[in-house]
A = this chain, B = another copy of it.
Amino acid sequence: MALEDLHRLSAAEAARLIREGAVTSEQLVAACLDRIAETDEQIQAWEFLDPDYALAQARAADELRLSGRAIGPLHGVPVAVKDIFDTADMPTERGSPLYAGRTPSRDSAVVARLRAAGALILGKTVTTEFAFLTPGKTRNPHHPDHTPGGSSSGSAAAVAAGMVPLAVGSQTNGSTIRPAAFCGIVGFKPTHGLIPRSGMLQTSRTLDHVGLFARTIDDIALLAEELAGYDERDPDTRPRARIPFSAAAAAEPPLPPMLAFVKTPIWERADDDTRAGFGELIEALGDRVEEVELFPSAAEAWSWQRAIMEAEMAANLEREYDKGRDMLSEGLRRQIERGREVRAVDYQRALSRIGPLSESFAELFEQRYDAILTPAAPGAAPRGLDTTGDPSFCTLWTYCGMPAISLPLLQAENGLPIGVQLVGQREADARLLRTAKWLAAKLAQSE
């Protein structure tokens, strides 16, 4: 492979070549920086990028490898980090002028784990304002007049454009799955509490998840394996054995998986492209998919998710609202104001329904299905840069804290990618990746 094409490597390939000494981290990072120089004027994925510092980190990684000391599974691999994760060596501005120039004193748990695995932080990627709806400057790499989705806009766009093999983002409603779908890459939102959020902007403890972006499912597995695990500073994580994501993603399912096609109560929002695409998909899958109707209580998840998100955002952004509301977008101000009116009884009711609703899904998985098959978004990335699109096909799964992955398996009439979402049982994240690999391979065969 020519040096100028190294940015196209998957993270797994890049890590292997660096480990073997066939490629240096500096060569890889230089290729990524060249790609950024070439494309980012149009795409605008980065909030902070210091090429010299990135190259210095890469050279340090190369020296470490040459010294013969043990290196991690991501040694020398660059990763992009959404600008809501604290980094001790770069600003973390949360997409808001209220935090312009803020440089935290310590790394977030995710960044610390990336560095411990040998990865280097290439830079910080554009987020919407406080990871909510008001867009940043990023454009869709497939078409500059279309949104990349959000809130992890820069992370998704950077990976899709080949600027970096891996990126980290977040999801509180649809902020990972939606931009991954719109940008035509793989996005993964694990089970709630699987990856610690300490040092990440908190907008909603109940709904915030770390999200991952890559161009292959294997790369998602590689990254997830390094990031999952207990952190005493995130009370929603639990001590557990290391999850063998990579081995699971590489394994054959013991039996051919069975998928439950779930239209969800908001199917009427799915556009013609999505309906046509899912029609073909269902046909290609034959007896490996069955349409399943959700129980009626699932329809309430959207209003429960909204009550929690509004109430918790209002609590978490109280200081920003009280001291700096003039510097908040009108959309965010209104969201906080709605949140301030939510009553504690309604908030508690919404919280109390998460357990029973996820339990109902658990039965579905135990009885017959390996994963739920459902759209990632109503359609391809909409035209225009003033919204990041509709997150509602993610809402139910985020509310339930179930693992979800978006795969770039379909295409709209206009050529833009359409994501297919697979949703798994809580805590069965590795199995979901295995099922996703099977699905991707099955469809590649049938083409």
Query: Within the oligomer, what is the number of copies of this chain?
Result: 2
The answer to the question of A314 belonging to the interface, with a C-beta cut-off of 8 Å to chain B, is yes
Report whether over half of chain A's contact residues are helix, strand or loop; otherwise say mixed. Answer: helix
CA distance A311 to B348 in the complex (A): 9
Give the chain B neighbours of A346 by CB distance below 8 A. 344
CA distance A179 to B273 in the complex (A): 68
- How many A residues face the partner with a CB closer than 8 A? 18
> Given B315, B318, B341, B345, which contacts A315 in the complex, CB threshold below 8 Å?
B345
Give the chain B neighbours of A347 by CB distance below 8 A. 344, 347-348
The answer to the question of A339 belonging to the interface, with a C-beta cut-off of 8 Å to chain B, is yes
Expressed in whole angstroms, the minimum distance between the Cβ of A197 and any Cβ of chain B is 16
CA distance A352 to B312 in the complex (A): 11
CA distance A340 to B346 in the complex (A): 9
Give the chain B neighbours of A349 by CB distance below 8 A. 315, 318
> Given B307, B312, B345, which contacts A348 in the complex, CB threshold below 8 Å?
B312
Interface string of A303-326 (1 = CB under 8 A from B): 000010001101100100000000
Give the chain B neighbours of A318 by CB distance below 8 A. 345, 349
Expressed in whole angstroms, the minimum distance between the Cβ of A318 and any Cβ of chain B is 7
The answer to the question of A242 belonging to the interface, with a C-beta cut-off of 8 Å to chain B, is no
CA distance A35 to B172 in the complex (A): 61
> Given B311, B341, B345, B352, which contacts A339 in the complex, CB threshold below 8 Å?
B345
Question: Is B343 a contact of A340 with CB atoms below 8 Å?
Answer: yes
Give the chain B neighbours of A314 by CB distance below 8 A. 344-345
The answer to the question of A60 belonging to the interface, with a C-beta cut-off of 8 Å to chain B, is no
The answer to the question of A364 belonging to the interface, with a C-beta cut-off of 8 Å to chain B, is no
Chain B CB count within 10 A is highest, among A314, A339, A348, for: A348
CA distance A341 to B347 in the complex (A): 12
CA distance A347 to B311 in the complex (A): 10
> Given B311, B312, B343, which contacts A341 in the complex, CB threshold below 8 Å?
B343
Give the chain B neighbours of A281 by CB distance below 8 A. none
Give the chain B neighbours of A340 by CB distance below 8 A. 343, 345
> Given B315, B341, B344, B348, which contacts A352 in the complex, CB threshold below 8 Å?
B315
Expressed in whole angstroms, the minimum distance between the Cβ of A303 and any Cβ of chain B is 14
The answer to the question of A342 belonging to the interface, with a C-beta cut-off of 8 Å to chain B, is yes
Output the nearest chain B residue to A235 by Cβ-Cβ distance: B355
CA distance A346 to B344 in the complex (A): 8
> Given B307, B342, B352, which contacts A343 in the complex, CB threshold below 8 Å?
B342
Expressed in whole angstroms, the minimum distance between the Cβ of A258 and any Cβ of chain B is 30
Expressed in whole angstroms, the minimum distance between the Cβ of A423 and any Cβ of chain B is 24
Give the chain B neighbours of A339 by CB distance below 8 A. 344-345
Chain B CB count within 10 A is highest, among A315, A343, A344, A345, for: A344
CA distance A348 to B318 in the complex (A): 11
26 A-B Cβ contacts within 8 A? A307-B344, A311-B344, A311-B345, A311-B348, A312-B348, A314-B344, A315-B344, A315-B345, A315-B348, A315-B352, A318-B345, A339-B344, A339-B345, A340-B343, A340-B345, A341-B343, A342-B343, A342-B344, A342-B345, A343-B343, A343-B344, A344-B344, A344-B346, A344-B347, A347-B347, A347-B348
A314-B345, A339-B344, A341-B343 are known; give 4 further A-B pairs, CB within 8 A: A312-B348, A342-B343, A342-B344, A343-B343
- Give me the 3 closest cross-chain CB pairs, A-B, nearest first: A311-B344, A344-B347, A315-B348
